[in-house]
Structure 1
Amino acid sequence: MSHTETLTIERLGHRGEGIATFDGKSVFVGLTLEGETVIAEIEGNRGRLIEIIDPSPERRPAPCPHFGSCGGCQLQHLGLETYGRFKRSLVVDALSRANVNANIADLVFAHGAGRRRATLHATRAAAGFMALRSHHIHDLDTCPILVPALAPAPEITRSVAAVAGPCDVGFTASDLGLDVAVRAKGARPTARLTEIARQFDLARLSLNGEPLILQRLPVVTMGPSSVPLPVSSFLQATAEAEEVLASLVLNAIRGARHVADLFCGMGPFALRIALKVPVFAADSDAPAIGALEAARRNTKGLKPIAAERRDLFREPLELFELNRFDAVVLDPPRAGAQAQVRTLAKSKVKTVIYVSCDPQSFARDAAILIAGGYRIGTVSPVDQFAYSSHVEIFAVFYRNEQRA
């Protein structure tokens, strides 16, 4: 049974919610800041904000009219300095829990022009992101965190849902227009969906993984290459973040003659590395490897790229394979790269470059590398997921000379 109480917010949790103590237990209240006094309706360990009695001086007006109702953003009410400290603290806390000592740089902002990919949910009644702390969809008309090319996304999603019924619609802003991938249970190709693709001049419209209409092959520029996009392909959320991370990777491999890019995706790092040195690239995603190979064939001036489809969770590179390389780049999904890192920790690889999208799995893997004789350099948090509680991480690990 719920009840209303006056609370003092003591700190922010890792999801960006304010944490207060009531009756000896923690209560999580979204949309609040440290030091604020608020009135909240409490049910269990959750509190719904009703009123802010004493606001923090760090509070700022949200730039989006949907903030507080839409669940897509959690942090639009934070001032810039508080926001940067919070994102950095996600990395600090994760490394501390794993007993990893490292110098952690200030947050690198890489929002750029906005996110170039997004997935909206839809029924025949609404289209948008999920509502805050709800399983219902918050109906959107605009979203300021997306690149301008994705401005029509809510309208397109509504049009698709009117034909296909409840669905998820994935958008990617490619160099040649929008690549739209629809997931709708039981939906079948119809002339109306084709008409929608033409009405909005979509580069491609796919339904349940299969291209329905292709007006232009969607491509994205990655370093020196134009890369054809597979359906529902993965990209860094912002183009600026890709550039920032790639620059850090290239700086870290300077002097290396043999490089491996593991969990390489479509090659945002491999294609740039190949401007300098040969690279071995591996990923379990067959369409991504196919896109990388197509880009390699169509790009002049690259050193050799040996691309291989390989499940690095089940079949990590063995020692005899790893020891060929001076540097290894890792860019795994949220689960991290534990199996591969365990083998790396026993290897002679001099430099390990780690790009992570999850502080907890990164901290776990960092501890393994350090226990294996690596030294961790400065850790850089990179923010491409504006106003969310997610953060990207870049770090370099150096093999200690006595263990080389």
Structure 2
Amino acid sequence: MTQITITALGQRGEGIAEIAGQRLYVPFTLPGEKVEIAMEGERGTLLSVLAPSPDRIEPVCGYFGVCGGCSLQHLAPAPYAAFKRGLVVTALSHAGIDVPVGQLVEARGIGRRRATLHTRAAGAGYMRPRSHDLLDIEACPILVPALQQSAPGIARALHAAVGDSDIGFTATATGLDVSVRNERKLKPQKLVPLAQNLKLARLSLNGELVLQSQPPSVRMGKALVELPSGSFLQTTEAAEAALAGLVLAGLKGARSVADLFCGVGPFALRIAESARVLAADSDRPAIAALQHAVKHTQGLKPITTLSRDLFRDPLAPAELAPFDAVVFDPPRAGAEAQARELVRSKVKTIVGVSCEPRTFARDAAILLAGGYRLESVTPLDQFAYSIHVELVGVFKR
């Protein structure tokens, strides 16, 4: 056992101390705290807090510290917001971009509507910190009410039928969408009575439909979108609405917009209330879901869809010519190839949405070098108590 004083908070949410000129990383600690730890190489395990920081608060969950799902429940709201905003500021600074970053927008809403739980003989829950050992939980307070207690119970029931699994949950307007993945060869039909018993909207096993009592659906603007199994969805409903609001504000006045990496259309469907839209993504089921939603929604301007791998085959300047604005919301890898084509185009406005500040900063540097200016950057918090942050940047020629 060793007593140390934490001097900083690292980008992974861990307290940092120095011993004999070497950095030591200690999860669940805060700057200024005197703590007792067990050392293992460059990492420390917190044993007790001898002198707490004034920024330390009581965690909202009794599993905090032994569960690997959250890392920042002990940090008070103001320094927590500063930490998340700082992730964006630091990423932009490292890319040589000096631009004002807005205050963090709180977008957690009533909780996460998506989660993945693991099931093992030990129960159902999340993995312990830096471990593959499962922590059995009864409830998770950062999820939406429909999942907080029901998800662990459903996971246990499924484990009894299918064994060790990773189980994805999505809470939708029409019920729970549950997707089971494991390595066993099982006949999906055997799970039909269980899915009925659990009153699930849909159950899938290793990508194969077991039962769909009704299509899992979410509202996006005027549209009701039927979600494909395993499709991407913003983690919280509040974040989707906040992101869409920032996107629409950035696009103000645009009459024709290309929505790239559009998914099932959370932006495209809202943009189409006032502008023509091209919506492109490589996810064919997502594009099909968007097409279906467009067909059954009144009051939208035309939405043209395009199934295309924008990493390998980005829209070229000639294809971008009809649009006075572009939105891109890529996965964590970013939109580097598309950014390089955008600087060769005459598109006046670009709105970038990202869940990874470092790749956003890389792509932003490409756009800035190509003649755009970055007018605003707004960070959003939908990943409660984690080290992840969402952001929206608005670029103008």
Task: Classify the TM-score, shorter chain.
Answer: over 0.9
The partner residue of 2:306 within 305, 308, 311 is 308
1:77 matched to 2:78? The reply is: no
The partner residue of 1:40 within 32, 37, 41 is 37
Which residue is equivalent to 2:389?
Answer: 391
Whichever residue aligns with residue 119 of structure 1, its letter is T
Kept after mapping to 1: 8 A contact 2:379/2:391: yes
Whichever residue aligns with residue 52 of structure 1, its letter is V
1:207 CA drift (Å): 0.5
The partner residue of 2:226 within 222, 228, 231 is 228
Counterparts of 1:155 and 1:102, CA distance in 2: 47
Whichever residue aligns with residue 141 of structure 2, its letter is P
1:210 CA drift (Å): 1.1
- Where do 1:1-400 residues align within 5 Å? 4-151=1-148, 152-189=150-187, 193-399=191-397
Secondary structure in structure 2 of the residue aligned to 1:367:
helix
Whichever residue aligns with residue 76 of structure 1, its letter is Q
Counterparts of 1:115 and 1:258, CA distance in 2: 33
- The alignment yields a C-alpha RMSD, in angstroms, of 1.0
Whichever residue aligns with residue 145 of structure 1, its letter is I
Secondary structure in structure 2 of the residue aligned to 1:153:
helix
Whichever residue aligns with residue 393 of structure 1, its letter is L
Whichever residue aligns with residue 381 of structure 1, its letter is P
Which residue is equivalent to 1:402?
Answer: none
Kept after mapping to 1: 8 A contact 2:188/2:205: no
1:215-269 deviation line (CA, Å, top 9, x unaligned): 1111111111010110111100000000001011111111111100000000000
Kept after mapping to 1: 8 A contact 2:179/2:204: yes
Whichever residue aligns with residue 378 of structure 1, its letter is S
Counterparts of 1:33 and 1:302, CA distance in 2: 50
Moved over 4 A (4+): none
1:143-189 deviation line (CA, Å, top 9, x unaligned): 01000111300011111111111111000001110000100112413
Secondary structure in structure 2 of the residue aligned to 1:377:
strand
Whichever residue aligns with residue 118 of structure 1, its letter is A
Secondary structure in structure 1 of the residue aligned to 2:135:
coil
Secondary structure in structure 2 of the residue aligned to 1:294:
helix
Counterparts of 2:191 and 2:10, CA distance in 1: 43
Counterparts of 1:191 and 1:298, CA distance in 2: 31
1:2-54 deviation line (CA, Å, top 9, x unaligned): xx322111111111000111111111100000111111111111110111111
1:77 CA drift (Å): 0.1
Q: Taking structure 1 as reference, are residues 187 and 156 closer, same or farther at Cα in structure 2, changes over 3 Å only? A: farther
Secondary structure in structure 1 of the residue aligned to 2:332:
coil
Counterparts of 2:326 and 2:295, CA distance in 1: 23
1:310-365 deviation line (CA, Å, top 9, x unaligned): 00000000011112211000100000000001111221110110000001101111
Counterparts of 1:207 and 1:116, CA distance in 2: 20
TM-score (normalizing by structure 2): 0.98
Percent of residue pairs identical = 56
1:190 CA drift (Å): 5.3
**Any stretches of 5+ residues in structure 2 without a counterpart?**
none
Kept after mapping to 1: 8 A contact 2:188/2:209: no
1:124 CA drift (Å): 2.8
Secondary structure in structure 2 of the residue aligned to 1:129:
strand
Secondary structure in structure 2 of the residue aligned to 1:379:
strand
Whichever residue aligns with residue 353 of structure 2, its letter is V
Counterparts of 1:309 and 1:138, CA distance in 2: 40
Counterparts of 1:194 and 1:60, CA distance in 2: 45
Counterparts of 1:35 and 1:13, CA distance in 2: 13
Kept after mapping to 1: 8 A contact 2:113/2:236: yes
Counterparts of 1:370 and 1:233, CA distance in 2: 32
1:105-131 deviation line (CA, Å, top 9, x unaligned): 111000101000111111132211111
Aligned length: 396
Kept after mapping to 1: 8 A contact 2:376/2:395: no
Kept after mapping to 1: 8 A contact 2:107/2:380: yes
Counterparts of 2:113 and 2:140, CA distance in 1: 12
Kept after mapping to 1: 8 A contact 2:326/2:351: yes
Q: Taking structure 1 as reference, are residues 81 and 303 closer, same or farther at Cα in structure 2, changes over 3 Å only? A: same
